[in-house]
Amino acid sequence: EAGVTQSPTHLIKTRGQQATLRCSPISGHTSVYWYQQALGLGLQFLLWYDEGEERNRGNFPPRFSGRQFPNYSSELNVNALELEDSALYLCASSPAVAAAEAFFGQGTRLTVV
């Protein structure tokens, strides 16, 4: 069974540009989560999507946004990139059950120069 897949693996952008990160969940999982892992800051919750709707959002500015498609895959968009946005962005998926563990992808390493 395929795991959570994220693309691209690496992304280099210039300050002020936009970045789009993609995530395909495990088959049958309807919930998708996005996390930012910046150096020294741990894992910060970004967004939770379920059944195409945004269910919860972390303490990030509006330039971080996303969506979930009918096939449950998801996109994270970061507008007006800042140097501080450089981080590993992790996507996870799970069934829509609170007791279910989330399974993580390998991440997208975003570097803003």
Footprint of other proteins on this chain (CB under 8 A)? Answer: 4, 31, 33, 35, 42-43, 45, 48, 50, 55-56, 58, 88, 90, 92, 98-99, 101-107, 109
CB of 91 to other proteins, least distance (A): 8
CB of 84 to other proteins, least distance (A): 18
- Spatial CA neighbour of 72 closest among 40, 10, 109, 24: 24
Which of 6/14 has CB closer to other proteins? Answer: 6
- Token digits of residue 72: 């449950």
- Token digits of residue 74: 């998801």
Which of 8/16 has CB closer to other proteins? Answer: 8
